[in-house]
Structure 1
């Protein structure tokens, strides 16, 4: 299964995106501020306040000791560790991870727990079919 996160609104304090699975819209996303740090470009990572670089990353589901539940984890993200897809509503709820939900208010995603659950179901189903799961992140 191929997940695609297209960043559609980069603001000073947050980044809003659109998440698709195999070309079909799934939900909206919220990340910290996007900074141009990838692919050897000048820029500065601000720990806990920087969206991950664009690229394509494998996704697995592992147990998160921090959240005490099973959550999607992105692997091999340059300059970052422990990047998960999890619930939250504002950029204050993430230290670099991807929050999923519905962007019904500026700078927020709502109904996040329900969307994490739905996304995990899609990932588990793909893994059960023997498919790899990848996420491609594009700055639009």
Structure 2
């Protein structure tokens, strides 16, 4: 079975992009990325619009940190695969565009302050989305569609 996560970009701050994240057409949480750019700035550019496969990445320091933090939940970082010109793009915890490193952050709510969007309760949203995605990824392919 194929499942699809939709990241619908809704609002832009000076350096932040706020989105709504849906799983099989059900709202799950909010997302935050950097802004789109014509020319990529590593770690400061949003994911290009498109459809990508999700997979587990069990390498690197972030994976170890999340395993220590969530030992019963963590099966590997959820990586957005095969984005042209991008590597190691994860769905992870964070609140501001400064914490994205070119990845997708998640939160249960958001605020707009000083021209930027900031997520709220990122850990809560991450644990919810992560558990749903792991269940689907173990039983079949899961894709993410990023766009307006």
- Measured in 2, the distance between the counterparts of 1:44 and 1:93 equals 20
Mind listing any 5+ residue stretches in structure 1 that lack a counterpart? Answer: 36-42
More helix by share: 2
Residues 1:5 and 2:7 aligned together: yes
Scaled by the length of structure 2, the TM-score of the pair is 0.83
Deviation of 1:64 after TM superposition, in Å, equals 4.8
Deviations along 1:31-77, whole A, 9 cap, x unmatched? 01112xxxxxxx21112110010000000122252322332101000
TM-score by length of 1: 0.87
Where does residue 38 of structure 1 map in the other structure? Answer: none
Q: Which moved more, 1:109-118 or 1:89-98?
A: 109-118
Could you say what the CA RMSD is over the residues aligned between the two structures, in angstroms?
A: 1.3
Counterpart contact for 1:2–1:135, Cα < 8 Å: yes
Aligned residues: 131
The gaps in structure 2 that reach 5 residues or longer are 67-75
